[in-house]
Structure 1
């Protein structure tokens, strides 16, 4: 063997090395990309879990506030409380029995309604007007 043939065996070209390393580099790059995608997706899932937990806690809080407000509304609308407020704060009293006007649930026909209040002597079905005891409106 000559020196030329042995020098060709010992010398390695850069292109040959790159061709041998290329599959390994591509495989490593593929594994790195898949790993980064997996980690990114897991981080997004954990973040979404935290967001869901906060939204559920806010929903429970709002439901509790809504229930409390419904109870407060029912308490404020209680007839006994309204009557007490009307008497104590507004100075209202129960009207005398003769000052109460009772109307039926029937609506009068169109065109038959008059602008003035009906007198007690008129006999209209469903309408009863009590005397006012000499006091005006």
Structure 2
């Protein structure tokens, strides 16, 4: 088996400055710009993701990042207060309440979109 030091995930966006502002200013992550490459988003501890530009970007139709929170309602209220819509699903297979929170599939979870329309979630974890 190969040896690794620090695995990380990555995904694309179509507008790096918009992603920088969103992940830094709205979500509050420490973000390092890597000129000509993209963004290194530090999630806490040793975890991070790499966000890179892609001219023909297609938004992920699945959740690319789950953000654990201690109180889903407070997190959703804060996101909504910053202009982030959390009511993005409205179908019988994925029911959500008026705030966009699904409380039926396990831990309470709410999904939202980043500026490139990638799916992100906040999930209540004890």
**Which TM-score band (shorter chain)?**
under 0.3
Higher helix share: 1
TM-score, with normalisation over the residues of structure 1?
A: 0.16
Mark the structure with the bigger radius of gyration. 1
Structure scoring higher RCO (CA < 8 A, sep ≥ 6) equals 2
TM-score, with normalisation over the residues of structure 2?
A: 0.17
